[in-house]
Amino acid sequence: MTSRQQLGQAKRWVVKVGSSLVTNDGRGLNHELIAAWVEQIADLRKRGIQIVLVSSGAVAEGMQRLGWSKRPHAIYKLQAAAAVGQMGLVQAYESRFQQYDIHTAQVLLTHEDLADRRRYLNARSTLRSLLDLGVVPVVNENDTVAVDEIRFGDNDTLAALVGNLVEAELVVLLTDQPGMYEADPRQNPDTPMIRQRQAGDAELEKMAAGGGMGSLGRGGMLTKVRAAERAARSGAATLIAPGREPGVLQKIAAAEEIGTLLTPGREPLVARKQWLAGHMQLRGRLILDEGAVRVLRESGRSLLSVGVTKVDGDFSRGEVVACIGPDGREVARGLVNYNAEESRRIKGQSSDRIESILGYVDEAELIHRDNLVLV
């Protein structure tokens, strides 16, 4: 999916709407805007397009219902607000979709649900079954139970990972901006808007870094750029578009020049490697020498213990670790075949010495190439 003309051919979308849009900048749920999106989604479904809706707004709606003007810092207060607000959010979507005889399903996720391979596959099967049944899944982070170490951090990231789950062709991030600009338009009113770029372009992160974030949500333009890169791993294009624009979803389907299109620049990863690449919770780090980095990048081979110079963290066999080059940048990540203590003992050693050092040999590789993905 590399052009706007091809967007109309996409048959599976993930549409994400942010807190400032859903809650009218914190003044309570924007029922008028919600009704407009639902009407557009109902129309797209008649054209054979499946939609997964990722909606922010639970915490902000809960704050409004509880009379709080500032987002609390205490996790238990945020979770209380989410629990209260989720009721109103679900009711709003359910009542609107019922007008078009469309069933909805609430799906609440934490990163822990996607970090475990079995739970990842269960979530994937559930979402796909709902789509096959003609249901619109309404997905949100499970703020009521999530703690910092199992958070996605923002719903842009969640939307991208859901896109990976359902193998969406298009991820639409609806925002309160017309699109992404080369610089902050509040400080540089004449700065041009980016119409189309390739996801993963290093210049995009630099442009987005100064975009900031609102008082209600956790995401800014930088999170959208990073989400687009995650979505691209499964071959999905990402469109950052103005959520208040009348008929915005129909305009996207009609290939109109709206928003900022970030296209996938490479072939999609196979499903297992999508899961690995989407991991945000790494259990440790393996520091590699230049030779090992070169072998991984240029030859696509397995990681051997001889190329590891340092082991950080406390991890078990089968957990996900990052492979870091001498310059401190992440090169790859994968499922490690030995625990942290064993890895420390065999680092820098050739594979034929593993048995004499540990007393046994499980695998000749520290990370097998089938369980490793370049990042």
Query: In the chain, which segments carry CATH 3.40.1160.10?
Result: 4-274
How many Å apart are CA 214 and CA 220, to the nearest integer? 7
Distance of CA 218 to CAs 6, 20, 59, 224, 365, Å? 31, 11, 11, 11, 40
Q: Residue 2's pLDDT is what?
A: 60
2.40.160.40, 3.30.1490.20, 1.10.357.10, 2.30.130.10: CATH of 282-374: 2.30.130.10
Whether residue 218 is predicted with pLDDT greater than 80 in this model: the reply is no
Nearest 5°: CA angle at 110, between 323 and 338? 30
Q: Residue 145's pLDDT is what?
A: 67
Nearest 5°: CA angle at 373, between 370 and 375? 175
Mean pLDDT of 337-342: 94
Q: Residue 282's pLDDT is what?
A: 87
Whether residue 144 is predicted with pLDDT greater than 70 in this model: the reply is no
Q: Are 335 and 283 in contact (CB under 8 A)?
A: no
Nearest 5°: CA angle at 61, between 178 and 69? 90
Q: Residue 44's pLDDT is what?
A: 96
- 22: three-class secondary structure by DSSP: helix
Give the length of the chain.
375
Residue with the bigger pLDDT between 282 and 15: it is: 15
Confidence category of residue 138, pLDDT binned at 50, 70, 90: very high
Architecture of the domain defined by 4-274: 3-Layer(aba) Sandwich (3.40)
Whether residue 69 is predicted with pLDDT greater than 50 in this model: the reply is yes
Report the chain's mean pLDDT, rounded to a whole number: 87
How many Å apart are CA 288 and CA 315, to the nearest integer? 17
CB under 8 A, 24+ apart: contacts of 364-367: 364/304, 365/302, 365/303, 365/304, 365/337, 366/286, 366/302, 366/303, 366/304, 366/305, 366/308, 366/336, 366/337, 366/338, 367/286, 367/302, 367/303, 367/321, 367/323, 367/332, 367/334, 367/335, 367/336, 367/337
Query: In the chain, which segments carry CATH 2.30.130.10?
Result: 282-374
Q: Residue 148's pLDDT is what?
A: 54
Whether residue 29 is predicted with pLDDT greater than 60 in this model: the reply is yes
Q: What percent of the chain has pLDDT over 90?
A: 52
How far does Cα 116 stand from its chain's mean position? Answer: 16
**Residue that has been written with the tokens 């048959």 in this structure:** 11
What sign has the CA pseudo-torsion 333, 339, 341, 347?
negative
Mean pLDDT of 1-12: 78
Mean pLDDT of 228-255: 93
What sign has the CA pseudo-torsion 203, 204, 205, 211?
positive
Nearest to 141 by CA among 279, 19, 249: 19
Mean pLDDT of 78-86: 89
- Put simply, whether the predicted model's pTM sits higher than 0.95 gets the answer no
Q: Residue 96's pLDDT is what?
A: 97
Mean pLDDT of 50-72: 90
